[in-house]
Chains A and B, each alone.
Chain A
Amino acid sequence: MKILTCVKYVPDAGDEVGFESDFTLGRTGPSSKLSELDEYAVEQALRLRATIDGATVTVLSVGPAEAEVALRKALQMGADEAVLVSDEAIAGSDVFGTAAVLIAAAGYLDEVGLVMCGMSSTDAGIGALPALLAEALGWPLLSNAAEVSVEAGQARIVRSDEFGTRVVEAALPAVVSVTDQSGEPRYPSFKDVLAAKKKSVTTIGLAELGVEAALVGAGAARVQVTAVVRNPERAAGRVIVDVDGSSVDDIVEFLAAATK
């Protein structure tokens, strides 16, 4: 069984990258990388692989050629193989366009028994793809898991959200997404990095997947970005250095004014 793990290539939150003239985010910032929230998905996929007979981990990304960087990182962490879907026609897709490509790729790859995702992309932050994948595949959705396990073909997650903590179960195949509470991602060792050099990244386009270009890209998007504005940074205020509680008067005065 393949554990198909969906990962996104994103700019680092600290990067100063801009937006293109069509308002799409410049994906290839100086430190663009595997989304930190998707590292959790890779980590859990690797942990599950160790508990399921014959399981392998395939990482999948939809993005520009540079997204290979993200897949390489996942291979270093221990994934078995990597697939990049890259096609000019995909640029500017909304979440439904990206979902259509990921769904087609899940169908194109054999023996997928589990799709793993992060909770959200760190750049666009939509938090929607796992649900869309489950819906389209007709598979159960076990999303935003703080814990995940698979036993005898049954997946089980623990999820905490605005409605409390729930245990959710389903038979495989299923779609699982994990939160940043699910367990710290491993850091690849030098040996892992060397081993990953022997692994390859397969790049495919829409033609291989049989996805019509008209279904994806900016033209098919149901939401069009019309402006992007840099939010103003907050300005620094007054700084005081405390010596043995010398700041207490100033703090009390500040609190009184701020809560008036």
Chain B
Amino acid sequence: MGNVIVLVNATSDVVDAASAELLTTGAGLGSVVAVVPGGGSDALVADIAQYGAAEVHVVSCPQLSDSLVVAKAALLVERAAETHASIVLVASGLEGNEVAALVAAKLGAGLVTDAVAVRADDGELVVDKVVWAGKYTVTAKVVAPVAVLSMKANSCVAVVAPSQPEVRQAHFDFAAPAPTARVTSIEPAATSSRPKLVEANVVVSGGRGTDGDFAPVEALADALGGAVGASRAAVDAGFAPQPLQVGQTGKTVSPDLYVALGISGAIQHIAGMRTARQILAINSDPEAPIHRLADLSVVGDLKVIVPAVVARLG
């Protein structure tokens, strides 16, 4: 289907999991032009080549860090126009969805945000998206010449397929056509020694039922080599920071094992973890909805059970 632009955000020398998935998805649809805004290292470019890109464009842009999303979107629009791309793929997220919207508006393209699957069918691009707190999967076809999609993490398994891409260095000066917002301070996302929430094979989440003590949640996560998550009630109460929130307005996770501790299982929470392979729930209320979907439901006190389990796991 022609050229596929894949946005790779350079946050380190390695392609992050979400971008690796996009590169794989893109390679299945056409010839991938990986675009790295703001400049990326040789190591990053080499890593991108692991996933089958045909071209890598490293594009410097002085306005990138001062502007919220508009400069990044304009940079992608320029690359899409230059390469006559018919598909633009970005990773889902607050920023990714906005970048996708702005690029689609400029290109007159069809837009699907938070897509979970995409395929070419008889020359048409067909996209799946999960809507309404996870209740339904909607399939749509893009009827415009260009498609811009933001893809949810864990939509596919990244496949290593080394290539020898043509690497281009470019420069993009963003001249705002209208007044834009200025970023006046930046504090990078906190890093943790635990696996990243959306990439982890094991996620242990705590809810309001932890009563503010996340120590058992963290201890079990560490014993299993997993990531820590939280319900929104736990985040709202200040038990855990928002980036750890799982659910409709938080992260979507799809681990092999999801452990819900003191979480009732509201539909908005389920929306973020319903595709976990196995679910363990510990909740003292036998009527809690989480017990209706867990593979192992334990009706009991997490404060008694979790430390004992952690001790046994050694």
Contact = CB atoms under 8 A, between A and B. Distances in A.
A165 B286 contact: no
Given A13-B267, A223-B112, A234 B183 contact: no
Contacts of B181: 140-142, 168-170, 174
A141 B180 contact: yes
Given A13-B268, A127-B98, A222 B111 contact: yes
B114, B127, B232, B277 interface centre (most CB from chain A within 10 Å): B114
A54 interface: no
Contact of A259 (B70, B91, B256): B256
Interface string B120-144: 0000001100111111111111111
A241 B235 CA distance: 28
Given A14-B267, A226-B140, A162 B94 contact: yes
Interface residues of B, number: 90
A190 interface: no
Given A13-B268, A168-B183, A231 B232 contact: no
Contact of A255 (B114, B178, B257): B257
A259 B202 contact: yes
Given A171-B179, A236-B291, A230 B135 contact: yes
B279 A234 contact: yes
Contacts of A250: 296, 298
A164 B109 CA distance: 29
Nearest to B130: A231
Contact of B295 (A130, A161, A238): A238
Interface residues of A, number: 84
Contacts of B267: 13-14
Contact of B297 (A19, A228, A237): A237
A174 B68 CA distance: 14
Q: Which of A142, A223, A236 has the most CB of B within 10 A?
A: A223
**In terms of DSSP, what is the predominant structure of the interface of chain A?**
mixed
Contact of B137 (A123, A228, A254): A228
B76 to A, nearest CB: 13
B184 interface: yes
B137 A224 contact: no
Given A23-B138, A169-B181, A244-B304, A164 B189 contact: yes
A160 B243 contact: yes
Interface string A138-160: 11111110100000000000011
B100 A128 contact: yes
Given A170-B182, A222-B111, A164 B257 contact: no
Contact of B183 (A167, A181, A254, A258): A167
A95 interface: yes
B306 to A, nearest CB: 9
Contacts of B143: 221-224
A143 B183 CA distance: 12
B43 interface: no
A207 interface: no
B305 interface: yes
Contact of B95 (A163, A228, A255): A163
A251 B305 contact: yes
Contacts of A164: 186-189
Interface in A8-30: 11, 13-14, 19, 23, 25
B138 A222 contact: no
Contacts of B69: 131, 141, 143
Nearest to B185: A167
A240 B296 contact: yes
Nearest to A250: B296
For B101, B257, B286, which residue has the most chain A Cβ atoms within 10 angstroms? B101
A180 interface: yes
Contacts of A244: 304
B45 to A, nearest CB: 21
Contact of A247 (B142, B224, B305): B305
B276 to A, nearest CB: 9
B248 interface: yes
> 5 closest A-B pairs (Cβ-Cβ)?
A242-B300, A128-B101, A138-B178, A222-B110, A237-B295
Given A96-B104, A229-B137, 8 more contacts: A119-B94, A139-B179, A161-B93, A161-B95, A239-B297, A242-B301, A250-B296, A250-B298
